[in-house]
């Protein structure tokens, strides 16, 4: 019998839950190279969503919310208390927005209102940057370190100008799933916050399993001025469509953000988030399945010798050597939606983690088209 490669064994094991197969059946299929059938639906591997959706308890809470549809904001104060308790901060250190996007855009608005520039890594997540730029702020884009593709804190520090009002850091970064070393980041925040606001976007922090990583929430907890840490219920909690996000900061900064916010939150999203943040079992399940999916893609890029950045999130990022616009179109023909182009890295692919058996199919398609 043909010897199974490590990747083949992993691919077989990853399908067990999703495809409902026994280990023997799945490994037999992988060993003899039988193609995985094309799904009759579009696999969403392009927008960093949770493929498992909300937890059952969150779904029940949201269904029950119809009876509270006449109430503004619902249990917003209860959600703030839960978040404050989880993160060991007072409730006046917490703001809730219509997704973390509202918190991001509000920070961009504050930078513009203060007639200042914004310093950010390039590439990185775009909402704060685009909003500030459209308002009229100068955006100073600092390329990631060329060899590691990690955010270059030294270069960002040098890029800060007298008129800089906000330094934006995404940790883990997006589309590059890299992290910033915890001690270097903590020193950077303490120093830069003496001059301007530092915004640390931690949308994917729950996924990180790396001893070199740390949230900057401890600085908020210890009274750091000019720092805001954002989080979201859109990722691990599977509530992207409900638009619930959070900011944590010193009360003085929270007051400025609350005064500038323009969105609103809905009772269904609030109640779903309350239930989900109490559901550790679902969060742990999501993390286990995400690790399975990441491992499937990791073995593929290792086998093919593709340059990549080790994932610290729920997506992978690797070099294809092909125009990503063409790659996207080719995958759409195979019922897979992958990530959009991220200039200037136009031949690098971001692929979000779908369910393990769906990532098996992704690997099969990638190897056939580009392997």
The domain locations on the chain are 6-53+281-370, 56-277
DSSP secondary structure, 144-197, as one string: PPTTT----HHHHHHH--TTEEEEEEESS-SSS-----HHHHHHHHHHHTTTSE
pLDDT digits (tens, 9 = 90+) for 240-275: 999 999 999 999 999 998 888 887 888 999 999 999
* H or E element in which residue 227 lies: strand 227-232
Looking at every residue in the chain, the average pLDDT score rounds to 89
Beta bridge partners of 45: 338
pLDDT at 235 over 90: yes
Q: What distance, in Å, lies between the first and last C-alpha atoms of the chain? A: 24
- Cα(110)–Cα(166) distance, rounded to whole angstroms? 9
In contact, 274 and 82? CB cutoff 8 Å: yes
At 33 the pLDDT is 57
Measured CA distances, 40 to 177, 190, 222, 238, 334 (Å): 30, 51, 52, 23, 10
Q: Each residue of 281-316: pLDDT tens digit? A: 999 999 999 999 999 999 999 999 999 999 999 999
Q: Tell me how far apart the alpha carbons of residues 364 and 371 are, in angstroms, rounded to a whole number.
A: 9
Instruction: Report whether 158 contacts 128 (CB < 8 A).
Output: no
* Confidence bin at 10 (pLDDT 50/70/90): very low
Give the pLDDT of residue 224.
Answer: 96
Cis peptide bond upstream of 344, omega within 30: yes
Assign domain 56-277 to a CATH class.
alpha beta
pLDDT digits (tens, 9 = 90+) for 23-61: 333 333 443 457 889 999 999 999 999 999 999 999 999
* pLDDT, position 1: 29
pLDDT in tens, 140-153: 999 999 999 999 99
pLDDT band for position 13 (cuts 50, 70, 90): very low
Residue 68's pLDDT band (boundaries 50, 70, 90)?
confident
CATH number, domain 6-53+281-370: 3.90.1150.10
Q: What are phi and psi of 194, to 5 degrees?
A: -70, -20
Q: Give the C-alpha separation, 137 to 140, whole Å.
A: 10
Tell me, what's the pLDDT at 263? Answer: 79
């Amino acid at each position: 019998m043909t010897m199974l490669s490590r990747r083949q064994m992993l691919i077989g094991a990853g399908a067990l839950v999703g495809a409902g197969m026994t280990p023997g059946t799945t490994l037999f299929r992988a060993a003899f190279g039988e193609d995985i059938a094309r799904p009759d639906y579009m696999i969403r591997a392009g927008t960093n969503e949770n493929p498992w959706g909300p937890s059952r308890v969150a779904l029940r809470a949201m269904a029950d919310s119809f009876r509270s549809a006449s109430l503004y904001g619902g249990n917003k104060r209860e959600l703030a208390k839960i978040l404050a308790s989880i993160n060991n901060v007072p409730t006046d250190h917490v703001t809730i927005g219509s997704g973390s996007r509202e918190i991001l855009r509000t920070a961009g608005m504050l930078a513009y209102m203060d007639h200042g520039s914004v310093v950010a890594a390039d590439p990185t997540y775009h909402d704060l940057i685009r909003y500030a730029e459209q308002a009229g702020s100068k955006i100073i884009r600092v390329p990631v370190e060329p060899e590691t593709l990690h955010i270059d804190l030294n270069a960002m520090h040098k890029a800060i100008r007298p008129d800089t009002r906000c330094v934006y850091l995404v940790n883990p970064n997006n589309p590059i799933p890299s992290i910033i070393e915890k001690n270097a980041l903590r020193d950077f925040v303490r120093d830069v916050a003496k001059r301007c606001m530092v915004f640390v976007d931690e949308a994917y922090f729950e996924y990180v399993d790396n001893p070199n990583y740390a949230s900057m929430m401890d600085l908020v907890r210890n009274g750091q001025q000019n720092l805001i840490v954002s989080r979201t219920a859109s990722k691990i909690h599977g509530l992207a469509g409900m638009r619930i996000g959070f900011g944590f900061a010193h009360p003085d900064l929270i007051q400025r953000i609350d005064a500038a916010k323009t969105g609103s939150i809905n009772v269904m999203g609030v109640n779903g988030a309350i239930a989900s943040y109490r559901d550790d079992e679902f969060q742990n399940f999501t993390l286990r399945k995400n690790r399975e999916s990441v491992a499937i893609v990791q073995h593929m890029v290792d086998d093919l010798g593709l340059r990549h950045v080790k994932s610290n999130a729920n997506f992978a990022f690797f070099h294809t050597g092909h125009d990503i616009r063409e790659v996207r179109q080719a995958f759409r023909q195979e019922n897979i939606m992958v990530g959009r182009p991220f200039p200037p890295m136009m031949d690098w692919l971001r692929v979000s983690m779908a369910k393990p058996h769906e990532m098996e199919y992704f690997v099969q398609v990638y190897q056939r088209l580009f392997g």
